[in-house]
Structure formats: structure tokens, C-alpha cells
Amino acid sequence: MPTRVIALMNQKGGVGKTTSTANLGASLAEIGERVLLVDLDPQANLSVHMGIDIFALARTIYDVLMGDVPVREVVLRGTRERLDVVPSHIDLSGVEVELASAVGRERLLKEALDRYLAEETQPYDFVLIDCPPSLGILTMNAMTAACEVFVPLQSEFFALQGMSKLLEIVNLVRRRINGTLQVTGVIACMFDGRKNLSREVVEEIRHYFGDRVFRTVVRENVALAEAPSHGKTILEYAPKSHGAEDYLDLAREVVSTRRQEGTHHEDPRVPGQTDLRPVPDPGPTRQGGRDAGGSGQDS
């Protein structure tokens, strides 16, 4: 099977994007997949989440994008069993300006990753790219390198706000740069089963995205918020928590989807790969929800 290169993106912050990249990656490795995590966010939250001292690094993804070094000299191997990491650094925050006049600047990550993956004697099953909360040149690089996009959404009122612009950009990249790019997964995060609002929002997400929404929802869980400060994944920090259970279930679902769909992402001319319809921003209704029975949060 070819490597699945997946960009996890949402131009909004605080929706569970980095949490999902770290814990989905760790869960995929836990169930036997070989995984590469790429931290493309200047905040380097994914690197910190994985217990990496970003201030002790000699080289990072910044050096790769600036053309100084290949990925193989930056990747941190064996960060976890079957899981490697390409770390980030705050230097990446200046890349928009530094690459302003670079020819083919949106293809820098793809070219570097393609060379690295071609050199690897043990191929990766998954490459997960953690994007910054914006739709700038770094996210454009991720979409050019990836075949798939996963969109983490919080199960709250403003979940769908801004999705029209995100889908518009994905469609534009697919038409002009990367014909294989698709939104293949939407992850409902921070779900609180006690609240009508959470259930209504997930229902609305499913209405707009259909079967692209994973059946697994990630329940609100304090351990998920605590784990990054310890440099641990949820499987290490709280292996019996709802968060660990949910991300393992999500990983199994992601792998199962791959086996059912085969390699359809390789051919941009496959029938049915039409543009996603725009998602309307939420209106003034549904501004609150009363508590209902059944907590989805660990204590």
C-alpha cells in the first residue's frame, strides 16, 4: 500500500488539531502502523507534545523548507516505537517573508518529503502533517504534499464557521496544484455527551460532510489537555481514559477506511471526485444547549 500523506488542518485554533495529530499518530503506531509526524506549525506544539526539547535542536523543518538540509538529517527516529517526528521551531514563523520570492515555494515540502520517502527502506504507512491555524504558505505546502485532508472540528456552536473558506482553498489547490487532494475525514472533537448542543453540532457536521465524518467522536477529556505538558501522548499519560479509547478507535477506523477504499487517491480523474459544496456559516440559532444525561468527560 502507498503511504497515506494526510494534512490535519483548520484555520481556527483550539479545535484539537495538534492533539489529534499527536494522538492519532501514536494510536496508529500502537496498532502496528509505521508513522511519520511532521510539525509544520511555528508554535511547535506537536514537537513539545511529543516530549521534544525544541531549543536543543540543531535542525528542524525550517531548515528543510529553506533548502539547507534534507529531511533525513532532521527527522527524529524512534521517538516512539514505529513513530518518527520531523520537529518545528519558532524560526518557522518568518518563512512567509523569507520565501516570498522563492520559485515554486508551495512545493518545497512535497519535494523534500518525496525524496525522503523514496530513500526509506522501511516505508511509512502514514505521514501526518500538523498545520498552523492559518491558510498561508505553510498550509499550502501541506496541501501540496498531501493526498488527504482531515479536518478536526470542535463540537461547539462556531464549529462550521469558516469552513466555506477552507473548502474553497482545498478545491483551488486540487484544481491548480494537486489533483489528488481530498477532504477524506472530519474529526468531531471535544464532544460532551451531557449537552444537547454537542449532539446538535455533530448532527449538523454530519449533515454537511456526510460520510466524511468519522463515526468515532473524541469526547471531552481533561487528560487530553494535561498530556502535552508532560511531553506524553494520551496512551502514555492516561491509557485507560476516554481520550485514549477514542483515539485508538479513530486509528482503527482510519486504517479500515484505507483498506476499503484502496488507492483511489492516486488517480485525480476517478469519477465522483467533484468539488465539495461550500458549507454555510452557522446562523444565529442554536446558541446554547442544556445539559443532558451521560457525561463524556473523565474526572
pLDDT tens readout for residues 155-182: 777 767 778 888 999 999 999 999 999 9
Q: Please tell me which residue, 237 or 194, carries the higher pLDDT value.
A: 237
pLDDT tens readout for residues 111-151: 999 999 999 988 999 999 999 998 889 999 999 999 999 99
Q: What percent of the chain has pLDDT over 70?
A: 86
pLDDT tens readout for residues 8-39: 999 887 888 999 999 999 999 999 999 999 99
pLDDT of res. 14: 80
Residue 95 C-beta-side C-alpha neighbours within 13 Å:
29
Q: Note the pTM of the prediction, 2 decimals.
A: 0.85
Q: What order do you get walking across the sheet with 126-130 strand by strand?
A: 76-80, 83-86, 35-39, 126-130, 4-8, 148-154, 182-189
Q: Is the pLDDT reported for residue 291 higher than 60?
A: no
User: Residue 1, exposed/middle/buried by CB under 10 A (0-12, 13-18, 19+)?
Assistant: exposed
User: What fold is seen in the domain 4-262?
Assistant: Rossmann fold (3.40.50)
pLDDT of res. 258: 65
- List the chain domain ranges: 4-262
